[in-house]
Chain A
Amino acid sequence: MNPAVRFRQVTKRFGDLTVLEQFDFEVAQGEIVTLIGASGSGKSTVLRILMTLEELQDGEVEIEGEPLWHERKGGRTVAASEQHLRRMRKKVGMVFQQFNLFPHMSVLRNITEAPIHVLQLPRAEAETRARELLRLVGLEEKADAFPEQLSGGQQQRVAIARALAMRPRVLLFDEPTSALDPEMVGEVLNVIRQVAGEHELTMILVTHEMNFAREISDRVCFFDQGRILEQGPPEQIFTAPREERTREFLRTVLPDSGRT
């Protein structure tokens, strides 16, 4: 079975700043991987390349064995056409730090917009599915509300439902709780937990919620200056990190465990 995601020798620069250099990374199908590390270490860039929000300068990215940023034409590999990108994008969904719900649409229309216009589902079917997803995230009664009427936590739960409505193979979470008031973090993490339990999804998360990462992940990757410095099962990373940089990082984000 092809890995869900594979980065091969990927280089990404923003002007003079190299964010990723000859970066290799693999995620198996159905695997839940968390990316941790200081900000600016390249974690979010990995997600944004997968969502085609950022182009790369060199290397190859594959999703389920198929190149994302390239396509093969007549035995040659060429830069991906818009058509190819559109097809590949359907395999990937993303949940953003700032939710990015469409403020002028009801919750229900936020969720049905893309299934109707991209997947060409009949409206009735799209709405039935949207209501099921709203039940999953515990917001059935908010179908007709507008985003501005919801709390941040509720908005993010709608955003998760919206991403799931496109039935992605890989779901990306870019710091899904970083913009939330502390008392709302729990409800969003609960929903992610539930999604992880109920769906055969590959999930890649960037988060600063270390306890959550430890609990939900199959694997944790510690990023340092555009490389994965250390990776492994959460128990090993959090209790017995091999690298000094990892230990240092965990001490700063987990002050309690760091001191013992």
Chain B
Amino acid sequence: MLFGYHWNLTSDWAFALSILPMLLKGLVVTVEATVLGYLLALTLGLLLALLRMAPSRLVAWPTAFIIEFLRDTPLLVQLYFLYFVLPLYGINLPAFLTGTLALGLQYSAYTSEVYRAGIKAVPKGQWEAALALDLTPLRTYRDIIVPQAIPRILPALGNYLVSIIKDTPILSAVTVLEMLDVAKMVGDRTFRYMVPLTMVGVLFLLLTLLTATALRRLERRLPQRGIPLR
């Protein structure tokens, strides 16, 4: 029994059907962790990108170091660090929040590089025309640069969304009952691993395919010349 559901061991199909509700509970946690982690990555990433491009080296270089550090150390190490070290300094977060924080932090380093590349890819002439028209820097970013960067960065940001979905099982390392952890628990108690693990694979596949299809649709609908922010 798990989450109040009982498993039925009479056949593989019956077993599969009976544990589906448990796995779907785990799937909800997976989706929640994905959405929260991704939103954190998108906002923090933009902030990191802007700091990384700051005219002052005093700001840009430490930011570059933080980005490299987040990108080039394993997610699991970062997660364990947050989970086991933060409490020593009096910061006690629920395991779920620690997990999404770790996901969001590492992916913010990835998205910051996407933002930076997207902004750098806007031709220099656009900055010069904006300056010649005396637009303020804020207006230049808002009306000229960002609208043109969006179609350039969207595909890469979308790939990271799919990628973050696939990284959520790492949360099971800190006792979060997401989909993989649920399946493992079912296996531990019934000694039948093939069915629950296969189902986890299929559910992940459905989730990522669905996401990828939605993203492709969105990309196709965006005009490549840029999107005015209104």
By a beta-carbon cutoff of 8 Å, the part of chain A in contact with chain B is: 51-53, 86, 89-90, 92-94, 96, 98, 100-105, 109, 113-114, 117-118, 146-148, 162-163, 166
A140 vs B143: C-alpha distance when bound (angstroms): 24
**A104 to B144 CA separation, bound complex (whole angstroms):** 8
Q: Which stretch from B15-23, B34-42, B87-95, B126-134 is at the chain A interface? A: B126-134
Residues of chain B within 8 A (CB-CB) of A92 are: 132
Q: A94–B134 Cα gap in the complex (Å)?
A: 11
Beta-carbon contact of A118 and B133 below 8 Å:
yes
B216 CB-CB contact with A under 8 Å: no
| Chain A positions within 8 Å of B133 at CB level | 113-114, 118, 162, 166
A86 and B134 contacting across the interface, CB-CB below 8 Å: yes
| Residue total for B at the interface (Cβ-Cβ under 8 A) | 21
Q: Are the C-beta atoms of A89 and B225 separated by less than 8 Å? A: no
13 CB contacts below 8 A, A to B, read A86-B134, A89-B131, A94-B132, A96-B125, A96-B129, A100-B126, A100-B129, A102-B143, A104-B225, A109-B228, A117-B136, A117-B143, A118-B136
Q: B126, B129, B135, B225: which contacts A148 (Cβ < 8 A)?
A: B225
Q: Is B148 an interface residue (CB 8 A)?
A: yes
Interchain CA distance A17-B40 in the complex, whole Å: 46
Contacting residues, chain B, for A114 (C-beta < 8 A) = 133-135
Contact assessment for B134 and A89 in the assembled complex, using a CB-CB cutoff below 8 Å: yes
Best-buried of B123, B128, B133 by chain A (most CB within 10 Å): B133
Closest to A95 in B: B132
Q: Mark B116-147, 1 if CB is under 8 A from A, else 0.
A: 00000001011011011111100100011001
Q: Max chain B CB contacts within 10 Å: which of A93, A103, A104?
A: A104
CA distance A101 to B225 in the complex (A): 11
Q: Known A-B contacts: A89-B131, A113-B135. Give 5 more (CB < 8 A).
A: A52-B131, A93-B132, A100-B128, A102-B144, A105-B228
Bound complex: CA of A117 vs CA of B135, how far in Å? 7
Is B155 part of the contact surface with A, judged by Cβ < 8 Å?
no
A92–B144 CA distance with the chains assembled, in angstroms: 20
B226 close to A (CB within 8 Å): yes
Cα of A166 to Cα of B134 in the assembled complex, Å:
9
In the complex, B223 has a CB within 8 A of chain A = yes
Chain B positions 144-169 with a Cβ under 8 Å from a chain A Cβ:
144, 147-148
* B residues lining the A interface (CB < 8 Å): 123, 125-126, 128-129, 131-136, 139, 143-144, 147-148, 223, 225-228
Q: Assuming A103-B148, A114-B133, A117-B143, is B225 touching A146 (CB within 8 A)?
A: yes
Known contacts A100-B126, A104-B223, A148-B225: A118-B135 contact under CB 8 Å: yes
Contacts of A96 in B (CB 8 A): 125, 128-129, 132
In the complex, the 8 A-B pairs of residues with the closest C-beta atoms, listed nearest first: A104-B226, A114-B133, A100-B129, A100-B125, A103-B225, A94-B132, A89-B134, A118-B134
Looking at B123, B126, B129, which has the most chain A CB atoms within 10 Å of its CB?
B129
B-chain residues with CB within 8 Å of residue A109 when the two chains form the complex? 228
Q: Contact check: which of B134, B136, B226 meets A103 at CB < 8 Å? A: B226
Indicate which residue in A51, A104, A117 contacts B139 across the interface (CB closer than 8 Å): A117
Q: Considering the chains assembled together, what is the distance between the CA atoms of A35 and B227 in angstroms?
A: 38
Contacts of B226 in A (CB 8 A): 102-104
In the complex the two chains form, what is the Cα distance from A104 to B131 in whole Å?
17
* A104→B132 CA distance, assembly (Å): 18
Closest to B223 in A: A104
Q: Which residues of B contact A148 (CB under 8 A)?
A: 225
How many angstroms between the C-alpha atoms of A185 and B143 in the bound complex?
A: 30
Closest to A115 in B: B133
Closest Cβ of chain B to A117, distance in Å, is 6
List chain A residues, Cβ under 8 A from B131.
51-53, 89
Contacts of B148 in A (CB 8 A): 102-104
Are A98 and B125 in contact, CB atoms less than 8 angstroms apart? yes
B139 closest partner in A (C-beta): A117
Q: Would A53 and B135 count as touching, CB distance under 8 A?
A: no
Cβ of B135: which chain A residues have Cβ within 8 Å of it?
Answer: 113-114, 117-118
